[in-house]
Amino acid sequence: MQARIKTFDWLKAARIIRDRKVQNASAGLAGDESMTSGLIVSDGKIAREGGAYLSSTWATPVLRIHHNNDADGEFTETMIFCWRYADEITDSLRSHDWPDEAVAIAESDASNQTTTKPLTASARLERIEQAARIFLAAKDRVLMPYDSEARSAINALISAIDGDEHLNRVDPKETTP
């Protein structure tokens, strides 16, 4: 079986950057960032310096948000896995530089976005049941940590339960190992 290509999810990154009012961020491949990453937001503005390599069959594309804690002069980072399979998105989004659609999202005013209503108990139960079906369909592969289909099933499970609500949560400790 041929390995599927993971590529940076510019739309997810744009929503995170907009919603969290990110001032500085880079994108790259986890585990090889020194050779693949590039600045994508600098001083709150879209950076188009290029040079980032954002697709791989083995490494996972990530968004790295750089925080400047002015009070103590310390810099910290938040790493967020930020990818989709290349065959699931349009050619224009399989880019190593900002696609126009993502720029429009990142530069839009977050306060004008519709807010997500809390789910009713029955809607949440329905999502959990849907997620359980997805999870059970992939349960034999879940124990293989580097299996991309298992990772995709786990991401589907999380999305089925939370939808995009997790993008609105701001947690400075949101670092995925």
pLDDT in tens, 41-53: 999 999 987 678 8
Domain coverage including residue 14: 1-113
Residues 137 and 70 placed together within one structural domain of the fold? no
Residues 72 and 138 placed together within one structural domain of the fold? no
Residues 122 and 136 placed together within one structural domain of the fold? yes
Cα gap 135→155, rounded to integer Å: 10
Residues 51 and 126 placed together within one structural domain of the fold? no
pLDDT of 120 strictly over 50: yes
What is the domain count for the chain?
Answer: 2
Share above pLDDT 70 across residues of the chain, in percent, rounded to a whole number: 62
Residues in a beta bridge with 29: 61
Answer yes or no: are the C-beta atoms of 29 and 4 closer than 8 Å: no
pLDDT of 115 strictly over 70: no
Residues 99 and 132 placed together within one structural domain of the fold? no
In the chain, which ranges are continuous DSSP H helix? 10-20, 33-36, 100-106, 121-137, 139-142, 148-162
- The mean of the pLDDT values for the chain is 75
SS3 41: strand
pLDDT in tens, 64-111: 998 876 666 677 888 899 999 988 888 878 888 898 899 999 998 766
Residues 160 and 171 placed together within one structural domain of the fold? yes
What's the pTM value of the predicted model, to 2 decimals? 0.62
